[in-house]
Amino acid sequence: MDKEKFLKLWFLNLPIKDELKIKLLTRGLELDKIYEMNRRDWMDLGLNICEADEVLHVKNREKEIYNQVKFLIDNELTLILFNDDEYPAKLKNIYDPPAGLFIKGNILDYTNTLAVVGSRKATNYGLTVAYKFSREISKYGIKIVSGLAKGIDTAAHLGCLDADGVTAGVLGSGFKFIYPISNKEVINRIALKGAVLTEFLPDEKPYPQNFPRRNRIISGLADFVLVVEATDRSGSLITARLALEQGKDVFAVPGNIFSLNSVGTNNLIKDGAKLVSNIEDILLEYGISLKNNMHSGYNELELTIINILKIGAITIEELLERIDVETNDVLRAIGKLECNGIIKRAFGNYITLKE
């Protein structure tokens, strides 16, 4: 059995605060040295005699911990601790960082990341915004981070996946108790290019108190947080508050003033969150201008049309004469470019680049 994994899992099973675990890790102590510490050593760290005995008692749970090791191996999960090189640098700077992370998928660097969060009981409007924004934004190399919950979170993950982007999902439970179970296939898709991660041990169930706690990881991994829909008591507002405490800007999508799902987002805007109504409002914060990146994400035919229109306006009939491609393919390409705001119709059946 893998001794390193055993010691890491033993360490994370200790009934002490993450703050103390991180203190031990950053002292440069090897895990096997920590494993050999006695009652007096633990009491010197501030534990009382009962707490020290509870820590030492974890050694009697060897079989349980070896079962956790087997689970990690069988499910191809990676376990990293705070002092490992692979530990996300962004999380080291948040309040109360997790001492360890269980990861399914890839080790990501979390540069250029956007957290997209919102209501579990989302409206069609909210689901559409989360899906479309995440799909289009991910085309510019921005990673989408969310919480794998029903509603807005899932729509954001799916939008990114459907654009072949990279997304990360943060669980509020251990990997033995994926919640919601309906997202198991989504998790498998995410893990192919992105990552699914949790601070909770494999046996941890999705207790309600876990979800507000995991929100600090969602905001911690992101550069900015976008709240799509939220009631006045939504957990998404916790993520927004944590982001502000971490010194990060919050974006919010305005909604129907008569909808309960818009109360939280509309209040965020009143309190200073940046109102966003299109992806460029967000992309500009990453230093990306659509005018300078109009070629991103388009196929050869679409780029040909763009290059022709750079010379000047042209009728659709003239365009069809200049491009040796099936009429329906050209019309579909025109439709896509028009929907994406790259070209526009002009008088006399002309089309032109949108300024």
Per-residue pLDDT at 86: 97
The strands making up 314-315's β-sheet, listed across from edge to edge, are: 314-315, 350-353, 343-346
Per-residue pLDDT at 141: 84
Q: Does domain 294-353 have CATH number 1.10.10.10?
A: yes
Per-residue pLDDT at 299: 80
Phi, psi of 70 (to 5 degrees): -60, -40
Per-residue pLDDT at 295: 54
Per-residue pLDDT at 292: 53
Q: Give the CATH class of 113-288.
A: alpha beta
Q: What is the pLDDT along the chain (355 residues), one digit of tens a residue?
A: 689 999 999 999 999 999 999 999 999 889 999 999 999 999 999 999 999 999 999 999 999 999 999 999 999 999 999 999 999 999 999 999 999 999 999 999 998 999 999 999 999 999 999 999 999 998 888 999 999 999 999 999 999 999 889 999 999 999 999 999 999 999 999 999 999 999 999 999 999 999 999 999 999 999 999 999 999 989 999 999 999 999 999 999 999 999 999 999 999 999 999 999 999 899 889 887 665 555 556 787 887 888 778 767 888 888 888 787 888 888 988 888 888 888 888 877 889 887 6
Per-residue pLDDT at 65: 96
Q: Counting beta carbons within 10 angstroms of the beta carbon of residue 244, is it exposed (0 to 12), middle (13 to 18) or buried (19 or more)?
A: middle
Between CA 228 and CA 68 the distance in angstroms is: 37
Structure tokens at 38: 């006695």
Measured distance between the N- and C-terminal CA atoms of the chain, rounded to whole angstroms: 63
pTM: 0.81
Is the CB of residue 195 less than 8 Å from the CB of residue 173? no
Between CA 352 and CA 99 the distance in angstroms is: 55
Instruction: Tell me the three-class secondary structure of the chain, residue by residue.
Output: CCHHHHHHHHHHHCCCCHHHHHHHHHCCCCHHHHHCCCHHHHHHCCCCHHHHHHHHHHHHHHHHHHHHHHHHHHCCEEEEECCCCCCCHHHHHCCCCCCEEEEEECCCCCCCEEEEECCCCCCHHHHHHHHHHHHHHHCCCCEEEECCCCCHHHHHHHHHHHCCCCEEEECCCCHHHCCCHHHHHHHHHHHHHCEEEECCCCCCCCCCCHHHHHHHHHHHHCCEEEECCCCCCCHHHHHHHHHHHCCCCEEECCCCCCCHHHHHHHHHHHCCCEECCCHHHHHHHHCCCHHHCCCCCCCHHHHHHHHHHHHCCEEHHHHHHHCCCCHHHHHHHHHHHHHCCCEEEECCCEEEECC
